[in-house]
A = this chain, B = another copy of it.
């Protein structure tokens, strides 16, 4: 057994069963070892941002760590935008980054770089396994670290010789500490404040947004608390049969207007709400003046338990009011818009579908239309780094066999990590990818005005425009071996989506929006 095998066995012994991989020479021992440890499934990605995004999607759906295999600092860098997103989702990821052999690092060979330095900003834990036995032990430590506190990326740097030299053991059994619970006194204080508040809001974020967390929050709605979720969450169980919270609005001034008059804001599994960006003379912190702020549970605490304890303390009814199934009977007609697409998705999406949303301006209309759709999970772009939708769908599909995955992508966003289409085809993943082709960075046309940058001149307009040339997403899908359909009316999209969802395996639909 060499170091690579010891690592893979340690992963498998601790139920880390998938490794989204884009290896190079320094990772060849790991590549070879997959054949000797069949419990870990390698999934090849043609770009590292697909691998890390897939690990994120996997972790969100599997509720346990996905792993990656990346090639030194440059490979890590390519994967880092989606590790930024996964950091904001608190997704547990065991991020294995190969390095030169320990004795070779000193020579500053072309691929040498500061891997730990590059990993730090998006990792909760970074260590290098300098020998096979140390690498095996650190694999366990990484598995634990990725699931400790709120959860995050644990980056294990693996020098080539630590992989190829003989190992004497595998890593120990991973023991993940339970999330700490808030003290009883803290929950009682929140309960008292809620009783005294005139207009209280509970804001639930990714750290508490499991099915049980949503249900417990819904119970609190029955005792007069307005329940909201963050604009972007790792995974929101929703649709028929689930409680439907409100969503925090994206633009700060709208969020402030919506929260106007609230006198208490309670946080569960999230941070103080802030504007996504700063704008001249607009608020950064989205807490109305005079509104008291209390934390029920941080993302690192057991927010679900805290919500349940709070509901019990307030003698809230046992069951929340659940959304009633509300699905349009008839296909939408006329112009193809994000709203009509939302209606079609509500009509045809099967129960227990998973939505990976990187649709930017087109996402909210679909979200609003699927409020009463069959029960499903909604995975948001958590960190604002577009190019997450396709990769997260890859990982969600690997984690959730038997569930249909819908990947919603702005055309600008999809272009970042389009290589993920190939992995969907290779692994025959059951994903329908929708491209909202509006031929623009539409959000930036809005943001340009909001930042008071003046009227866009021809250069500025051209920097936000994707119509010259238009991308042909049907051809692009064909380039990666995926069947695809182009639609430009609501009726055509409805029919195409119905067909794609009735089948199995990957399909892409280009929705031409004007």
Return chain B residues, CB-CB under 8 Å to A473: 479
Which residues 94-113 in A have Cβ within 8 Å of B in the complex? 100-101, 103-104, 107-111, 113
A-B contacts, 13 of them at CB < 8 A, read A28-B444, A35-B458, A35-B459, A42-B462, A49-B78, A77-B83, A78-B416, A80-B118, A117-B117, A118-B118, A416-B419, A422-B469, A475-B475
A113 B109 Cβ-Cβ under 8 A = no
- Give every chain B residue within 8 A of A462 (Cβ-Cβ): 42, 44
* B382, A46: Cβ atoms closer than 8 Å: no
Tell me which residues across on chain B come within 8 A of A289, comparing CB atoms: none
Q: Which residues of B contact A33 (CB under 8 A)?
A: 453
Cα A25 to Cα B282 in complex, Å, equals: 14
A383 touches B (CB below 8 Å): yes
Whether A333 is near chain B, meaning CB under 8 Å from some CB there, is: no
Which A residues lie at the B interface, using CB under 8 A? 21, 23-26, 28-29, 31-36, 38, 42, 44, 46-47, 49, 73-75, 77-78, 80-81, 83-85, 88, 100-101, 103-104, 107-111, 113-114, 117-118, 120-122, 160-161, 164, 232, 271-272, 274-278, 280, 284-285, 382-385, 387, 412, 415-416, 418-419, 422, 425-426, 443-444, 447-448, 450-454, 456-460, 462-464, 466, 468-473, 475-481
Judging by beta carbons under 8 Å apart, are A164 and B471 in contact? no
Give chain B residues whose Cβ lies under 8 Å from the Cβ of A277.
25-26, 100, 104, 109, 111, 160
Task: Check B100 against A232 for contact (C-beta < 8 Å).
Answer: no
Kindly name the residue among A110, A458, A464, A480 whose own CB sees the greatest number of chain B CB atoms within 10 A: A110
A120 to B121, CA, bound (A): 11
Q: Answer whether A109 and B275 are a contact pair too, CB < 8 Å, given A463-B31, A471-B481, A475-B478.
A: yes
Closest 6 CB pairs of A and B: A35-B457, A469-B481, A476-B479, A74-B385, A77-B80, A32-B453
Take A25-B277, A88-B110 as given contacts and tell me if A31 and B452 are in contact as well, using a CB distance cutoff of 8 Å: no
Instruction: Report yes or no: A453 in contact with B164, Cβ–Cβ below 8 A.
Output: yes
* Bound Cα distance from A456 to B31, whole angstroms: 8
What residues of B have a CB within 8 angstroms of the CB of A419 in the complex? 415-416, 418
A382: chain B residues within 8 A (beta carbon): 110
Shortest Cβ distance from A282 into chain B, in angstroms?
Answer: 10
B276 touches A111 (CB 8 A): yes
> Which chain B residues border A103 with CB–CB below 8 Å?
278, 284
Q: Oligomeric state, in number of copies?
A: 2
Shortest CB-to-CB span from A228 to chain B, Å, is 16
- Contacts A111-B384, A470-B481 known; A81 to B75 CB distance under 8 Å? yes
When chains A and B are docked, how far (Å) is the Cα of A453 from the Cα of B33? 8
Q: With A384-B111, A452-B164, A470-B481 in contact, is A104–B31 under 8 Å at CB?
A: no
Q: How far is the CB of A132 from chain B (nearest CB, A)?
A: 13
What B residues does A107 contact at CB under 8 A?
272, 274-275, 284-285
Residues from chain B with Cβ under 8 Å of A422 in the complex:
415, 469, 471
Which residues from B are CB-within-8-Å of A285?
107
Residues of B within 8 A of A47 (CB): 387, 415-416
- Closest chain-B Cβ to A401's Cβ sits at a distance in Å of 19
- CA distance in complex: A287, B24 (Å): 25
Contact status A28-B480, CB under 8 Å: no
In the complex, the chain B residue whose C-beta lies closest to that of A449 is B28
Shortest CB–CB separation between residue A388 and chain B, in angstroms? 10
What separation, in Å, do the CA atoms of A84 and B120 have in the docked complex? 17
Q: How near does chain B come to A211, taking the closest CB pair, in angstroms? A: 24
Q: In the complex where A28-B447, A415-B422, A479-B471 touch, is A463 in contact with B117 (Cβ < 8 A)?
A: no
Given A121-B118, A122-B113, A385-B74, A32-B460 contact (CB < 8 Å):
yes
